[in-house]
Structure formats: structure tokens, C-alpha cells
Amino acid sequence: MKEIKYLILKEISLEWKTKYAFNGLLLYVISTIFVCFLSFKQIIDPPTWNALFWIIMLFASVNAIAKSFLTENRGRLLYYYTLTSAEAVIVSKTIYNVLLLLVLSLINLLFYSIFIGNFIQDLPMFITGMLLGCMGFASIMTLISAIASKAGGNSTLMAILSFPILIPLLITIIRFTKNAMDGLDWSVNYKFLVILIALNMLTVALSYLLFPYLWRE
Amino acid sequence: MHKALKVVCVLFLLITIIGGLLVPVPRLAILHETIRNLFFHVPMWFAMIAVLMASLYFSFRFLSKNDMELDIRAEEYARVGVVFGVLGLLTGSLWAKFTWGAWWTNDVKLNGAAATMLVYFSYFLLRNSIDDEQKRARISAVYSIFAFALMTVFIFILPRLTDSLHPGNGGNPAFAKYDLDNTMRLIFYPSVIGWVLLAFWIGDLRVRLRRIQNQIEHTHS
């Protein structure tokens, strides 16, 4: 447990020192939203708003998490291998990515609302959906990033590997947040909520079990 | 594969094709004669799932044993699974055109099936991008296990919870409950067994072919 905590702190402090990746992502999100604003001017159709929000989120997350394993050089990875257990590495990276995506999604929502308008009627439900969605994205893509890094470190490969797996998750998330935007009651969304939570638990468990096999060189 | 199973396979497939196209079928609204596709479309999916589960099983065993033979099996069964999945999508698309009026609809089960095909295409892409044999086998085994577990959720669980045009989901009665009369059942069960056996037969042949190819490569190098 302590290993995980220290690894997370290490990741956060590394990032905080340079803020390189974070600034890059921020710029990416803001530029994308600005381009959308210039093309759409104003979106009055809630489904379109929702879909576009999640598309921007999807691409930003792929970029964000690609750096997770792909930019680590071999020497450092070998160092971790001698110090910590494989499970600790994957869990800490997943948690760090979840936090990163959360911050990213909140910023995304903020700028999206400023530029393109805000149709959300049930904000807590929307934020819950966003939270679960980010957790899902992060957990799936962290493991895929680990796989892609072993297969040559190509970020295109990571995108290709993750998109098909993310499609059904994306469908569920979009449904969930659409219902949140319409202001529907929580009971309508229960089944999606259950799916999202179950999916998150499943992917984290799978990552935990499968990563040690990847870790061995 | 055991000779008896091969005979059974051929026999059942002959029953499926000849019987399936000739037996009298119950007339239903919208479906009419296209219900015959039941003998082709549904068993394709059963065969795909059976073969992909075999691939998953061999992936698991490879991770614990590191025997390359197991990796060959995992890969070739995945290949056959993809072929049957594509056939399932094609037969389904054809069926959809005549019953629902469109080649493709925005239906969760269809999306789940298409996503599964994409996942396995990526699996083969991943395999092609790694050169070292052992590494390739290990990494693709991990990806295959991960992808299969998630796909199980998406193909089986999600469609049941949402609205769908597909029989058996979203409030539509499944075929087995209301529409299969005894004649159809007589053809349907053999067709499932026949197509599943065919899938395993093809997989088995490919595994043996691969083994021979590998041996030739090793003796030449």
C-alpha cells in the first residue's frame, strides 16, 4: 500500500515540477474547443453537445495516457522493477491517470461551457458520470499503454488498440450523461451506473492480474 | 480432430444447408422466408464465441506455461473466430436489409459485435508489430484476455439492458421461445453443432499448417 502511495506522489511531483505534459494537454483541450466553437458557433442540440464533449474528452485522454508508459525510458523502468512490485506500478499509474483525467475533464467542462454553452440540468449526476467515465478510460488505457510500450512504443498503436475497447464504454457514458443533461431521475440511470461501476472494477482487477506478465522482460 | 467429429460435422452441415433451405417454415410477419437465415446467422455467432473462448483458454495456458504451441493455437483460433464473426456480421446485415430495411442500424448488439471485430483486428495488428516470438506471444495473450473479458460484458450484458430491434433483447421475444416449431428445431440444433465443429476443424487444420511452417523455417535457418 505504501509503495503505491509513494509511487503516486512521485508521479505527481514529477509532473508538478515541469508541468510539461499537463500544459500540453491543457493547450490541446482548449485549442480543440476553440476550433469547435469557430466551426459550430453555438450548439443548441443537447445530444450533439454531449457527443462532442465526449469526443474531445476521448482524444485528450488518449494523448494524456499515451505518455504514461511510452515516454518512460528503459533505465528508469528497470529501476522500478528492482524496487517495487509490478502490481504497485500499475495501480499507482492507474490512479495517477484517473486524477489527471479528472482534472482534464473538469477543465474541459469549464471551457466547453464558456465557449459553447451549457445545457446540463442535473450537474451532480453529470459530474458522477464524468468521474466514472474518466476512471473507466484511465484504467483501460493505462494497461493498453503498457501493452503498446512493450510492442515498440508507438502511440498510434496505443490509439488503435484502445479505441475498439473504449467504444462500448463511450456509448454507455454518453447515454448516462445525456440522461443527466435532460435532468432525468436517478432511477433511469441506475442500470448504466451499475455497468460503469462494474466495468471499472473489472478493468482494475484485470490490470492488476495481467500487468505482472507484461512486466517481466 | 477426431474422424467421427468430422463425419458428424459434414453430415450436420449437409442437413443444415439442404434441410434449412427446403423444410417448411412458419410464416411470420416481416420475416417470411428469411427466417431460414436463423440456421446460418445464429450458429455463426455461436461458432465465433466457441472458438474465441478456445483462443482465450490457450492464451491463459500460455501465460502459465510459456509453451509456443499454445500460442500458435491461441492465434489460429482467434483467426478463425474473426472469420466467423465477419460471416456473422454479413449474414446479419443481409437479414437486416430484408427485414428492417437497412444494411446497418444503430443497435447495441450490432455495435458490440462490430467493436469485437475491431478488437480482434487490433489483436492481429499488435501481433504483427512485435518481432520477438516469445514477447509477441506473451503480450498478445495479455491483450486477448483483457479484450475478451471486456467484450463479454459488452456483447452479452449491455444489449439486454437497452432497447433493441434484435430478437431476444430489449423486450422482443427471442426466437427460441415463440417461433421455433419442431421442424425448425430439428434443423437448428444440428446446424449449431455443425458450424461449431467446422470452426474447430478449420482452426485445427490451420494449427497443424502453422506447426509445419514453423518446422520448415527452423530447419532452414
User: B221 lies in a domain?
Assistant: no
Confidence of residue B166 (pLDDT cuts 50, 70, 90): low
Q: What local confidence, expressed as pLDDT, does residue B161 receive?
A: 64
Given an 8 Å threshold on Cβ–Cβ distance, is B143 in contact with A147? Answer: yes
| Of the candidate ranges B53-62, B70-79, B114-123, B150-159, the one whose mean pLDDT is the lowest | B150-159
Q: Averaging pLDDT over each range in A119-133, B161-175, B198-212, which range is the top one? A: B198-212
Residue A104 zone, left/alpha/beta (φ > 0; ψ -120 to 50; rest): alpha
Higher pLDDT, A150 or B166: A150
Highest mean pLDDT pick, B20-24, B102-106, B114-118, B180-184 = B114-118
Q: Could you tell me which chain A residue has the CA closest to the CA of B157?
A: A195
Residue B90 lies in a domain: yes
Cα A18–A21–A22 angle (5° rounding)? 90
Lowest mean pLDDT among A195-209, B77-91, B98-112, B166-180: B166-180
Is the pLDDT at B97 greater than 80? The verdict is yes
Residues of chain A under the 50 pLDDT cut: none
Q: Are A154 and B129 in contact (CB under 8 A)?
A: yes
Instruction: Find chain B residues with C-beta within 8 A of A70's C-beta.
Output: none
* Angle at B154 (CA atoms; ends B148, B156), nearest 5 degrees: 95
Residue B163 confidence (pLDDT) = 57
Helix (H, G, I), strand (E, B) or coil at A67: helix
User: How confident is the prediction for chain B on average, in pLDDT?
Assistant: 81
Cβ contact, residue pair A214, B118, below 8 Å: no
- Domain presence at residue B65: yes
- With contacts defined as CB-CB under 8 Å, which chain B residues touch A214? 138-139, 142
In this prediction, residue B206 carries a pLDDT of 92
With beta carbons under 8 A apart, name residues in chain B contacting A163: 118, 122
Q: What is the pLDDT of residue B208?
A: 92
**Minimal CA separation from B57 to chain A, in Å:** 15
pLDDT at residue B146, as a whole number: 85
Q: Compute the nearest-CA separation of A90 from chain B (Å).
A: 14
Which residue in A69, A90, A171, A197 has the most chain B C-beta atoms within 10 A of its own C-beta, making it the best mutation to test that interface? A171
State mean pLDDT over B150-165: 67
Question: Best mutation site among B109, B143, B152, B161 for testing chain A: the one with the most A CBs within 10 Å?
Answer: B143
* Residue range B37-85, pLDDT digits in tens: 778 888 888 888 899 999 999 999 988 888 888 899 999 999 999 999 9
Is residue B171 over pLDDT 60?
no
Residue B146 lies in a domain: yes
Chain A: residues touching B (Cβ < 8 Å): 140, 143-144, 147, 150-152, 154, 157, 160-161, 163-165, 167-168, 171-172, 175, 191, 195, 198-199, 202-203, 206-207, 210, 213-214, 216
Task: Sort out which chain B residues have CB atoms less than 8 A from A160's CB and list them.
Answer: 122, 125
Q: What is the pLDDT of residue B180?
A: 58
What is the model's pTM? 0.82
A78/chain B closest Cα distance in angstroms = 17
Question: Closest approach of chain A CAs to the CA of B5, in angstroms?
Answer: 35
pLDDT of residue B207: 92
Task: Quickly state the pLDDT bin for B172 (edges 50, 70, 90).
Answer: very low
**Across the interface, do A167 and B111 touch by the CB < 8 Å criterion?**
yes
Nearest C-alpha in A relative to B154 = A168
For an interface test with A, give the residue of B122, B136, B151 to mutate (most A CBs within 10 A): B122
B107 domain residue, yes or no: yes
Q: What is residue A116's predicted lDDT score, i.e. its pLDDT?
A: 80
Percent of the residues in chain B that have a pLDDT greater than 90, as a whole number: 14
**Interchain contact, B126 vs A206, CB within 8 Å:** no
Number of domains composing chain B: 1
- Mapped onto helix, strand or coil, the DSSP state of residue A98 is helix
**B173 falls within a domain:** yes
Min Cα distance A47 → chain B (Å) is 15
Residue span of the structural domain in which B149 resides? 3-211
Average pLDDT over residues B207-221: 87
pLDDT band at B162 (very low <50, low <70, confident <90, very high): low
- Residue B220 forms part of a structural domain: no
- Residue B130 has what pLDDT? 84
Neighbours of B124 (CB within 10 A): 14
